[in-house]
Amino acid sequence: MGNGTLKIRRIAIDTYHENVAYLHRECEIYRAEGFQALSKIQVSADSQRVLAVLNVVDDASIVGPDELGLSEQAYAQLNVEAASLVTVNHAEPPKSMDAVRRKINGERLSEEDFHEIARDIVESRYSKMEMAAFLVATGHNNLDRDELLFLTRSMLQSGERMDWHEALVADKHCIGGIPGNRTSMLVVPIVAAHGMLIPKTSSRAITSPAGTADTMEMLAEVNLPPEQLHHIVSHERGCLAWGGTAKLAPVDDMLISVERPLGIDSQGQMVASILSKKLAAGSTHLLIDIPVGPTAKVRHMGQALALRKLFEFVGDRLNVQLEVVITDGRQPIGLGIGPALEARDIMQVLENAPQAPADLRQKALQLAGRVLEFDPDVRGGHGYAIARDILDSGRALAKMNAIIQAQGAKQVDLHPGKLCHEVCAEENGVITSIDNFQMANIARLAGAPMDKRAGVDLLKKLGDNVGSGEILYRIHAEFPSDFKFAQNLAEQNNGYTIGTNAQILKPFVVF
């Protein structure tokens, strides 16, 4: 190897959201240990380069002294042929960390600062530690409204932006935290059946038991190339696809990969994340759903109102027509939690089945009605009745089936996992509260969303009467280890409280 080059080698290790490079301790050219104390190294091949954390290897069968290994993610990013020659350099710490340090010291940042931070993050110059530092420094109330606007705009501009070439591109988005709240899969067919454009791209679940993309995937392909997506949307006026293939506001995804495991989720970051993603997806009209409840993300009405103002302030300045609805977030929506079980609930609502969960139907109709009122031809207050008519007449179901066919229908089997554990009431009474967070965790430990048939199926909801020994819910799983994890968690705390009618948790809002 002349000229300080090493042979690149792909290491079959998936290091998730962090690039890792592997250097043999006895590397012939670079002293591995000297490099390791650095936060990152830069690997270059011709014009391509990638930044990575360095691990030192003592086993030549993993990486040899004349080689440089890259983890799957880093190898894909560098995008060169096997055994290409690369050089290694000290990665300069990202320049924009100066701005982060200024923010830590209480200063106000400029729009240019935010743009530089977003650029460095999107170029993988930030380590996870550095992103955590940025998130904490800009968390809580540390951003004023203008800084929040700057952050949102710089996240939006960090990636590509879709253009549907129409004046009204509708979308709805819930801030999350309520299990089973899959209203998008009802709102989209209703709104598209009305003729309004609603090209919905969704995320997969990260820490929740199901995302819209995970649930839709029970019925149809969701991983669609851009051309097919455009074709479907122009024919059907709507879609329910996974948004991960498009490069929309990539900084958002990178920050989320740090924010979620840390459990920090400030109002400002939530607004920047949602609005940058939706604007990048080409939305012109946006309905935001903020559920309020003691185990929801937003716990008090005052907090919900403050969040609404933030959405309105930033949305107005980014030229999106934005409406916020505050909804009842006291308990899960529908009965099923997990991709298969949630898809079952949705199809029952679309099919007007008698056993369809009424709360899911009601909430979807309310939201669809509000979206329909973005149409200048719909009179204020008439949206709900139009939505109900579309649903009751079967036109929503027909539209959903058309979207499913267009995306690529799957053989449908919505049976839940075969391992089943029944969680029963220990006393007589009325259900006075259901913990959203705990129910989501039980479903997640049972294997959802990776294991699509795993999850929780609720038999009792708030206000229902229950007798001692009666089933509250069933845990479904397919893998014994997951099944045990979920059972253990439910034994510690089953998420339900039973009491008297007077103790039933009151809604903060009546939707």
Which span (131-139, 177-185, 403-411, 431-439) binds its own copies, by CB under 8 A?
Answer: 131-139
E-assigned strand segments in 231-361? 238-242, 285-292, 321-328, 336-337
Residue 147 identity (one-letter amino acid): E
In the complex with its own copies, which residue's Cβ is closer, 267 or 273?
267
Is residue 90 within 8 Å of residue 39, measured between CB atoms?
Answer: no
Q: Under the criterion CB under 8 A, does residue 376 sit at the interface with its own copies? A: no
Of residues 433 through 452, those in contact with its own copies by CB under 8 A are: 445, 447, 450-451
Binding footprint of its own copies, residue count (CB under 8 A): 66
Q: Under the criterion CB under 8 A, does residue 140 sit at the interface with its own copies? A: yes
Is residue 403 within 8 Å of residue 192, measured between CB atoms?
Answer: yes
β-pairing, 170-174 vs 85-90, is unpaired
Q: Which of 7, 15, 145, 437 binds its own copies (CB under 8 A)?
A: 15
- Residues 447, 450, 455, CA angle at the centre, nearest 5°? 40
Is residue 253 within 8 Å of residue 135, measured between CB atoms?
Answer: no
Q: Which of 8, 50, 97, 391 binds its own copies (CB under 8 A)?
A: 97
Helix axes 128-137, 111-122, angle to 10 degrees: 160
Residue 31 identity (one-letter amino acid): R
Task: Identify which of 180, 252, 88 has the alpha carbon closest to the alpha carbon of residue 443.
Answer: 180
CB of 481 to its own copies, least distance (A): 5
Structure tokens at 375: 């149409």
Which span (99-107, 303-311, 319-327, 378-386) binds its own copies, by CB under 8 A?
Answer: 99-107
Q: Under the criterion CB under 8 A, does residue 61 sit at the interface with its own copies? A: yes
Q: Under the criterion CB under 8 A, does residue 7 sit at the interface with its own copies? A: no
Q: Under the criterion CB under 8 A, does residue 36 sit at the interface with its own copies? A: yes
Q: Under the criterion CB under 8 A, does residue 31 sit at the interface with its own copies? A: yes
Q: Under the criterion CB under 8 A, does residue 89 sit at the interface with its own copies? A: yes
Q: Which of 14, 46, 377, 413 binds its own copies (CB under 8 A)?
A: 14
Structure tokens at 306: 């403050």
Read off φ and ψ for residue 282, nearest 5 degrees.
90, 15
Annotated catalytic, 163? no
In the complex with its own copies, which residue's Cβ is closer, 239 or 477?
477
Per DSSP, 249 falls in state: S
Could you give the 3-state DSSP secondary structure of residue 104? helix
**Cβ contacts of residue 470 below 8 Å, gap of 6+?**
424, 425, 460
Mark 169-208 with x for binding to its own copies (rule: CB under 8 A) and - for no binding.
-------------------------------------xx-
Q: Under the criterion CB under 8 A, does residue 471 sit at the interface with its own copies? A: no
Q: Is the dihedral of CA 424, 427, 431, 433 positive or negative?
A: negative
Q: Under the criterion CB under 8 A, does residue 427 sit at the interface with its own copies? A: no
Task: Identify which of 375, 407, 410 has the alpha carbon closest to the alpha carbon of residue 390.
Answer: 375
Which span (25-33, 116-124, 217-225, 317-325) binds its own copies, by CB under 8 A?
Answer: 25-33
Cα separation of 465 and 472, whole Å? 10
Of residues 304 through 323, those in contact with its own copies by CB under 8 A are: none
CB of 153 to its own copies, least distance (A): 24
Q: Under the criterion CB under 8 A, does residue 132 sit at the interface with its own copies? A: yes
Q: Under the criterion CB under 8 A, does residue 25 sit at the interface with its own copies? A: yes
CB of 139 to its own copies, least distance (A): 6
Residue tagged active-site, from 214, 265, 377, 457 = 265
Q: Which residues pair with 434 in a beta bridge?
A: 496
Q: Under the criterion CB under 8 A, does residue 135 sit at the interface with its own copies? A: yes
Q: Which residues are catalytic?
A: 265
